[in-house]
Structure 1
Amino acid sequence: MSFDKLLAKVEQAEDALEARERQVAADFRVLGSTWRETLTPTRIVIAGALAGFLVGRARPVHAAGAIGGGSARWLQMASSVAGLVGALQAKFAAEGAESAAKGAEAEVAAAAGSPAGVTEAAAAAPLSPSERRYSADPAWDRPPVPAEAATDVSERR
């Protein structure tokens, strides 16, 4: 192969690598947003209860006592770290709620000055997935449709 062909092949490989890097970065962004959306409080409580049940069934404290007590310190440290992580998550959530409240106050102040009650920026900005989840469903404004039975015979007479 000539030097020019090798150089072209290297450049092609570099372009492919950069495209893969961009794809991986996009995949990680999607994974992060999906992870945050799926960690609802109910699922966290269920996972904690299930983990507690499984740990209780394994009887780690009894096993730690039989080993000589050295493992009990590891269990204590693990529970302390879990408490610390929970406290840090609560702190970050409180800071996020505080900044969201400040942003909402600014939007209300800006909306009060406009004649329609909605700012142009708020009307043009797309909603994030979490905002869409908590916004009103337009289907609720329509009258309900009478239900039909799941059999061949209708419930209407």
Structure 2
Amino acid sequence: MKFNQLQRRVARAEELVEGRRAQVREHAGLFVDSWRSGWTPWRIVIAGLAAGFLTGRAEPVRAIGGLNPTRWLQLASTASGLFSSLQAAVAASRADTAADKADDAAESADDAAASTQHAAHATRQAASAAKTQAPDPQPTTGYAAVTDAEETERWAVRAPRPAEAATDVSER
């Protein structure tokens, strides 16, 4: 055989392999799709029951765990106790977290109440000091008699009312 003929045979074989590889990919994709669509829930249940039956038939003593029903009862009571203790632990953890949050909320409420009381006390002191220091304004007959300086002084001396002081403190 000549070298050119060998090259043509190799090229044809490579093309054939590539074609077969593409066919295998296509058929594998179709197989996977049909396999997945074929496994309906009822078929899965039936296959599980059949596998369980065959396993139990092959090794009955090991599959059942002996014929002693007290072992099954002990297993069930142990599992139940374990489950109950896990639930109790989770509930205790949640209760601790809720108690911590409630303590934090109570402390912040106490702090806010104390700051409001301090602000109200300071406001009362400022108001009583303003009453003792501020002279009574003289009644005037007309608007022109009050000067701008007197008006500014009268408003500057006025202390905030308790509600204004409490709102000011709570907004900080």
TM bin, normalised by shorter chain, reads: 0.3 to 0.5
Which one has more relative contact order, counting CA pairs under 8 Å at least 6 apart? 2
Larger proportion of helix: 2
- Compute the TM-score of the two structures, normalised by the length of structure 2: 0.35
Structure exhibiting the larger radius of gyration computed from Cα positions:
2
